[in-house]
């Protein structure tokens, strides 16, 4: 009697990979470990994902969706900044995977960046292209703050000051961009 494919296997594989990544990062993520954690075998994993990079790509996309859900309801760039930083600090390994460059090697698409860019032009004025520089500066500020905290370079007692300064810097950049009609 032929075996019937389990339609839930792909979801179990991805969930197992996410748990392994969260617990041990890159070192914990092998095809064999994923198969075992998902309650299946290695060939079943390879049938659904070409290899480890395929699993990583699926994970990056799912983490990107989680980040989108965090920033989508925001009503200002200051709120986006706080939610972005909160996401990074609550999900450090996942954030590091999103920012690893893996997705950039596979696709030029940056849906979260493009979404926030559209919102930026609504909130600040001007076209999305006019606001690209502003958003790139904000992204660098946010990523730098998150990375300093996650790496342990920034001491805990300094972090509240850095977070407050980050919020003020966003306000200053937005105010400056609001005054100008050109690229900001």
pLDDT in tens, the chain (184 residues): 445 567 788 899 999 999 999 898 888 889 999 999 999 999 999 999 988 888 998 898 899 999 999 999 999 999 999 999 999 999 999 999 888 877 677 767 788 999 999 999 999 999 999 999 999 999 999 999 999 999 999 999 999 999 999 999 999 999 988 776 555 4
- Whether residue 50 is contained in a domain is answered as no
Q: What is the pLDDT of residue 181?
A: 56
Q: Which pTM does this prediction carry? A: 0.85
Q: What is the pLDDT of residue 182?
A: 52
- Whether residue 18 is contained in a domain is answered as no
- Whether residue 167 is contained in a domain is answered as yes
Helix/strand/coil for 154? coil
Q: What are phi and psi of 79, to 5 degrees?
A: -70, -40
- Whether residue 55 is contained in a domain is answered as no
Report CA-CA distances (Å) from 81 to 25, 63, 113: 25, 17, 12
Report CA-CA distances (Å) from 13 to 17, 24, 34, 58: 6, 16, 6, 11
139 contacts 113 by C-beta, under 8 angstroms: yes
- Whether residue 46 is contained in a domain is answered as no
45 contacts 34 by C-beta, under 8 angstroms: yes
Quote the number of domains for the chain. Answer: 1
Domain that holds residue 173: 72-179
95 contacts 104 by C-beta, under 8 angstroms: no
Q: What is the pLDDT of residue 158?
A: 95
- Whether residue 57 is contained in a domain is answered as no
Q: What is the pLDDT of residue 50?
A: 87
- Whether residue 11 is contained in a domain is answered as no
Q: What is the pLDDT of residue 66?
A: 94
- Whether residue 77 is contained in a domain is answered as yes
């Amino acid at each position: 009697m032929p075996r019937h494919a389990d339609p839930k296997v792909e979801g179990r594989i991805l969930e197992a990979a996410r748990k392994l990544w969260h617990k041990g990062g890159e070192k914990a993520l092998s095809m064999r470990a994923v198969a075992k954690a998902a309650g299946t075998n290695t060939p079943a994993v390879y049938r659904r994902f070409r290899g480890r990079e395929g699993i990583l790509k699926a994970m990056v996309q799912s983490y990107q969706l989680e980040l989108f859900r965090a920033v989508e309801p925001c009503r200002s760039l200051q709120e986006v900044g706080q939610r972005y930083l909160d996401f990074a600090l609550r999900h450090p390994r996942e954030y590091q995977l999103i920012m690893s460059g893996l997705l950039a090697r596979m696709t030029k698409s940056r849906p979260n960046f493009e979404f926030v860019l559209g919102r930026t032009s609504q909130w600040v004025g001007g076209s999305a292209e006019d606001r690209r520089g502003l958003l790139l500066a904000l992204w660098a500020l946010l990523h730098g703050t998150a990375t300093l905290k996650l790496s342990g370079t920034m001491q805990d007692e300094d972090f509240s000051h850095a977070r407050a300064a980050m919020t003020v810097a966003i306000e200053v950049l937005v105010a400056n961009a609001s005054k100008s009609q050109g690229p900001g």
